[in-house]
Structure 1
Amino acid sequence: MRYQWKDIEWVFFDEASMIGYETFIQMDSRLRQLKKKEDEPFGGLNVIIFGDLLQLPPVKMTPIYDQPLRYLPAVHLWRLFSLVELTQNMRQQGDTTFADLLNALRVGELTAQHFQLLMTKILTEEDQVGEFGLHNAIRIFPKKDMVAAHNEAVLEYYRNLRVQMYTIKADDTLVNATRNATNVDIGSIVSTDINKTGAMPSQLVIFVGAKVMLRSNVDVEKGLLNGAIGTIKEIIWPNFRRDQMYPTDIPSVRIDFGRDGIHLIQPRAVQFPALRNYGTIERRMLPLILSWACTVHKMQGCTVDYAVIHLGSQLFAKGQAYVALSRVRSLDGLRIDELDCSKLTGKTPCNEEAIKEMERMRRYQMYRAL
């Protein structure tokens, strides 16, 4: 995001741990082009980067603080910044016991007392009603297949209640074709990976009461950002229809985002490359996915009051347990569906390289202060 205060322009990068160094270079290059200042880092703009380096690292990229050898001897962009460390925990500020546990987990220093505390939060049959029921508190899993299985289980629960559901299918069109696609099924040249289709799903089951997550930034000022979670309150069909008339109908929906209020979310169009070099696909669809469950990666940056978290054998990356647990405001809002203590010790819970970088920055700031 870019802001201007008086005559000074600022650029803010959020969630630094998710930005790879390769992306960092692209940001720098683009800002130099936009400001027409090729010799000044970030085009001469003032840049502030927010984030916790000990959260999940970027997928298939080098961490933002680690300059790859292939970029030497270029300027190490990360080393141009100074550290301002925030020490007050705002998310868990009302639960110091939980905050202490998280601080220990993020650096791999859990004690026996911490494990005993986590054991008291294991999900029980009594928890299956109320806030921690199947369709209430969000489930946070390490893997996509676990998320899909839980979301399908919740859909089946509502089907058994005979809730009226609608299947919404994306409207895909081939634009800017680079090959003759006259006899080609458009579905065969569209990726099944949502991350390669502009974050828009090909199909979505919705109903009044469904819990959904935004997959794009709709309105930053209103808090309607990628990752915002809410509940569908109304479905509005095209042309003032009272129901879905055609399989191709894509409605608008009113969603209650809690503290951010109720907002109208309309279908959006995105473009992405077609498979096998056929050109560009334009997809029109609601920018939503079901969210009774989400992966740890998708929850990064989110805050919830209640969650059921998987801390079992399926954890596979450093920082997953820390990020998952730290999404919740307090221990009262936490339940654990599986706990493998071995996954919270050793090298799995924390990123040693990120810890070393934090220590380096702290030493550098002390040296500058002398």
Structure 2
Amino acid sequence: MYAQQLKAVSIVQGGHSLYIGGQAGVGKSYLVQQIFEDARRRHKSVQLTCTTGIACSNYPQVMNAMTIHRWSGIGDGRYTGQKLQQLVCHDDQCAGAKERIISTEMLIIDEISMMSRNMLDKLETVCRIRNISAAFGGIQLIVVGDFLQLPPVKNTRYGDLGEYAFTSSYWPNHSVFLDKVVRQDNETLIKCIRSLSLGEVNFEDNSFIHSLSRPLLTNHDIVYLFATNVLVDMFNRDCVLSMEGNLYTLDAVDSGEEKHLNTLVVQKVLWLKIKSNVMLLRNISDKLVNGLCGQVMNISDVSITVYFPSVNITADIRRISFTVFDPKTNSNIAERFQFPLKLAYARTIHKAQGMTLNRDPDEIEKICNHLENRELEIRIAEFENDNYTYEDLHETESELDEQLQIVAADLHEQTVEEFVLPFDFDVEMEINALKFPVPKTVFQESFNSFIDYLIDNKNLLMKFCAGEWKTLSELFADNVSVCDLKSAVSQSHLQLFYQKCQEHMTSAEYKSTCLELFNPDEKDLNVEFSVCFNLVLTLRKVLLGEKAKNLQYESTEINQRSVQEKERMNETARGKVRFIGGYVIAKLRHSCIKAINHNIHKTSANAIALYEQSKCCLQILDSIQQSEYTLNMTSELRCCKFVGNFKKAKCEQIPYKHK
């Protein structure tokens, strides 16, 4: 052992809790084994745990490593710390966890970077069943990992924000960082890995990475890594369909709402063939752990026989229950009964955390792109019901029905107050102008067909337009019009009017008005709401044209700016455009992913066509992101070379510009 490793052993022998950090290959796992063996020699009760089952399998079986979730009884973190304390103390199903906690003197947790602050705090609370007055019940805590690797996965349902564990007030006071790489001796490779982990890749690092690219001799036992589950599922689907043999379709038994079931890791439909590569999704025993890979030997409706070569075990895997728990009601709100398996020709980077892979053609650029935009895509997923346009962000039928219950009880008894449209407003001409000249998609054809339906039912159409014209006129009068016509209307007045229009067009009252134009029993209301949305925009445009004749607007004085200020403004504007473009791409990706997940295991011709179309769109969007990433990288590398050639001219102060 080298100096830092010896220092860590000394701190542990002194009875202190400790964090051991360092990049990949510095000997963290070796040090854990030395600390474990030293504790055993000193007759101390020590338990080795990891945040993932795969990380546990990297240690010798004699060390009896298990996941921290199983050791402590925390599970998936659905219960509060106090509730977990009660369960571990009094529930017979948690008797094993209670015995382990009480008997343990030293607890080692590997891959700590994937454990959140919320989970660490719950662990601390549960461990106090051993000694209520001491942190972690008096257990000496050794945590190991690299926080420059994957972060914790947040779970807002259970109140877990995904904060790093080191932000906890119970984080160890002592720390040792290992800095000597022992896994490799290539200094260029070591430096490059360090630069990648810090996000400080320069021109030399980029050139070195590309120099490692080479064709692989065979596809046997290659692990493909992707950043997201949808990319993994698409790749696995193509692989199993390309195999010889009969395709088995294994359906789950579901209960609960689909939006909750979709959050489960196990799939609704499982496609398998004999000799398929699969991965476990749940801990079955001490050796058969979550993330363990094997090969399918036999398939029946009751069980699937799988051989796991890494542990040399053949097991019959049966269906088990996967649930979605709601802490507010303290009950399960959805359940899926399915085999805890999924195809494993590819896996996510989270599932590969802690693994050493011999050959791995992962798509580095796509993974980097995904991690850069991860927060943006999460925000879009959380706020997908914000109605920017009804074509892409319409609400589901069930959510729409819930909102309409407030105003739809006496829908047909209400009448729209008579309100006269402008005499020169030709409703038929305006709505015909909304048609797609040459419809190329199913949506566009349906859009045009619904417009024809409205023209045939002109009374309904006129009633809708009159009601919306009245509402828009009132909003304009309340937020834009001024008492003195000589007074100027500011830009803030118009912005407030647009804001109120947006609030109106996303309200339940507006949607109930739209439902009078079409059959509310239709499963997909996307087309109908899109036509209404565009029609109201047309009415608003006409209204503003009418009102503009009688209003004055504030004049805007254009200040003369220097060339440097104009360039700075242009850079700011371009930055905003890039941000908006990235948001739009991420929003479209989210829509494509939903369509892929919906059709990925369907066999009808229509479903296959929709799947392939969505897959193609996703690939196009990913290529756009990759091109932008490459452009940024190329521009930055050119800038670095430029600065290097002209250091004396202080070119490091030259503003960065995209070419």
TM bracket, shorter-chain basis: 0.5 to 0.7
Cα distance change, pair 23–274 in 1 and its aligned pair in 2 (3 A): closer
The residue that corresponds to 1:296 in the other structure is 349
Q: Please list the CA deviations of residues 79-113 of structure 1 after superposition, one character each: whole Å capped at 9, or x if unmatched.
A: x34223344556x5476654442122112333433
The residue that corresponds to 1:229 in the other structure is 293
The residue that corresponds to 1:85 in the other structure is 177
Question: Structure 1 residue 115: deviation in Å?
Answer: 1.5
Q: Please list the CA deviations of residues 255-284 of structure 1 after superposition, one character each: whole Å capped at 9, or x if unmatched.
A: 233x43343252253352478978466654
The yes-or-no answer on 1:107 pairing with 2:107 is: no
Counterpart contact for 1:105–1:344, Cα < 8 Å: no
1:130 to 190, 200, 218: 218
Cα separation, 1, equivalents of 2:163 and 2:635:
24
The residue that corresponds to 2:108 in the other structure is 12
Cα separation, 2, equivalents of 1:265 and 1:122:
40
Counterpart contact for 2:256–2:334, Cα < 8 Å: no
Question: Structure 1 residue 209: deviation in Å?
Answer: 2.1
Quick one: which amino acid aligns to residue 308 of structure 2?
Answer: D
Quick one: which amino acid aligns to residue 253 of structure 1?
Answer: T
Cα separation, 2, equivalents of 1:218 and 1:303:
23
The residue that corresponds to 1:264 in the other structure is 315
Question: Structure 1 residue 309: deviation in Å?
Answer: 1.0
Cα separation, 2, equivalents of 1:150 and 1:217:
25
Question: Structure 1 residue 345: deviation in Å?
Answer: 11
Cα separation, 1, equivalents of 2:124 and 2:251:
38
The yes-or-no answer on 1:52 pairing with 2:146 is: yes
SS at structure 1 position matched to 2:361: strand
The residue that corresponds to 2:361 in the other structure is 308
Question: Structure 1 residue 21: deviation in Å?
Answer: 0.8
The residue that corresponds to 2:164 in the other structure is 63
**Which has the larger share of helix?**
2
Q: Please list the CA deviations of residues 194-237 of structure 1 after superposition, one character each: whole Å capped at 9, or x if unmatched.
A: xx54x4333322222212222122334x3x332223333x11x5
1:143 to 228, 234, 237: 228
Cα separation, 2, equivalents of 1:297 and 1:120:
26
SS at structure 2 position matched to 1:260: coil
Q: TM-score, normalised by structure 2?
A: 0.37
Cα distance change, pair 96–231 in 1 and its aligned pair in 2 (3 A): farther
User: Structure 2 regions of 5+ residues with no counterpart?
Assistant: 1-35, 46-104, 155-161, 375-622, 637-659
**Which has the larger share of strand?**
1
Quick one: which amino acid aligns to residue 228 of structure 1?
Answer: L
Cα separation, 2, equivalents of 1:279 and 1:226:
22
The yes-or-no answer on 1:163 pairing with 2:267 is: no
Give identity over the alignment, percent: 22
The residue that corresponds to 2:272 in the other structure is 206
Cα separation, 2, equivalents of 1:144 and 1:279:
24
The root-mean-square deviation of aligned C-alpha atoms, in Å, is: 3.6
Cα separation, 2, equivalents of 1:190 and 1:93:
46
User: Structure 1 regions of 5+ residues with no counterpart?
Assistant: 68-75, 173-185, 238-243, 321-336, 347-370
SS at structure 2 position matched to 1:56: coil
Cα separation, 1, equivalents of 2:282 and 2:187:
34
Counterpart contact for 1:266–1:286, Cα < 8 Å: yes
Cα separation, 1, equivalents of 2:634 and 2:153:
21
SS at structure 2 position matched to 1:204: strand
Number of residues of Structure 1 aligned to a counterpart in Structure 2: 276
Cα separation, 1, equivalents of 2:176 and 2:634:
28
Question: Structure 1 residue 137: deviation in Å?
Answer: 1.7
Q: TM-score, normalised by structure 1?
A: 0.63
Q: Please list the CA deviations of residues 34-60 of structure 1 after superposition, one character each: whole Å capped at 9, or x if unmatched.
A: 31x222111111211121111111123
The residue that corresponds to 1:30 in the other structure is 126
Larger radius of gyration: 2
Counterpart contact for 1:168–1:250, Cα < 8 Å: no
The yes-or-no answer on 1:192 pairing with 2:288 is: no
Quick one: which amino acid aligns to residue 31 of structure 1?
Answer: C
Q: Please list the CA deviations of residues 271-325 of structure 1 after superposition, one character each: whole Å capped at 9, or x if unmatched.
A: 52478978466654332211212222222222322212112256232699xxxxx
Cα separation, 1, equivalents of 2:634 and 2:134:
44
Q: Please list the CA deviations of residues 122-159 of structure 1 after superposition, one character each: whole Å capped at 9, or x if unmatched.
A: 47xx64x613x7xx52221112222222112212222x
